[in-house]
Amino acid sequence: MTGSPDDPDNTPDPSGDDGGASHAGAGRPDDGTEALATRAAGGDAAALDQLLRAIHPEVLRRCGRFLLFREDAEEAAQDVLLQVHRHIHRFEGRSRFSTWLHTVVANCARQKYRELKRRSAEQPLTPATQENGAPDPRTTSVIAGSRVDILEALDRLERDSPHLVAPLVYRDICGMEYSEIVDRLGIPLGTVKSRLHHARRQLRPWLSSGF
């Protein structure tokens, strides 16, 4: 993944705070984890190893909010840990590590979802696959996840109005404060709130219609 110095990926993901689409809840590692993240970002390899072990259960839980099937969630969680390992030096402490981590989780879950969607399209169900015990592509997290509707809506929003995606992801999925979003995106508070309002308004009928 690529991204700004304190952002592992410029292309985020979403849901709802006060009145948004639905709220994933940022969750916050304890102060010990935050301290480990600061040390790891400064190049402490031992702290990084401890950090990866400490966050794994929470990362898996968060991935499971997006991807219902445990195997899919576990694969996404491994992707998250790899991204943290590769990009922890970009964490500068401008936001809490928990917020930074949630952004990575959201991006990796979206990427895994797209991969599963492509795989499902390329591998139609046949009697042979059933007889061989191969996974039915129609029962993967592509259609069975509790937040797949959000993932679909985000992809559609990104196609139609890409500038609306980041504010929605940062506020409604990652639970960021408005001040953090302003700093991250470099746009005025009024613009952030306006884009968030328009993003929520666009998503609402898509989510209720089920596409």
Q: Could you tell me if residue 4 is inside a domain? A: no
Domain with 173 in it: 31-123+133-209
Q: Could you tell me if residue 12 is inside a domain? A: no
The mean pLDDT values, 10 residues at a time, for the chain of 211 residues are 41 38 45 94 97 96 84 94 97 85 88 81 56 49 53 84 90 83 92 96 76 42
Q: Could you tell me if residue 23 is inside a domain? A: no
Q: How many domains does the chain have?
A: 1
pTM assigned to the model: 0.65
CATH number of the domain at 161, please. 1.10.1740.10
Q: What is the pLDDT of residue 145?
A: 44
Q: Could you tell me if residue 88 is inside a domain? A: yes
Q: What is the pLDDT of residue 134?
A: 52
Q: Could you tell me if residue 145 is inside a domain? A: yes
Concatenate the DSSP letters of all residues of the chain into one string.
Answer: ----TT-S-SS-----STTSS---------HHHHHHHHHHHTT-HHHHHHHHHHHHHHHHHHHHHH--SHHHHHHHHHHHHHHHHHHGGG--SSS-HHHHHHHHHHHHHHHHHHHHHHHHHHS---HHHHHTT---GGGSHHHH-TTHHHHHHHHHHHHH-GGGHHHHIIIIIS---HHHHHHHHT--HHHHHHHHHHHHHHHHHHHHHT-
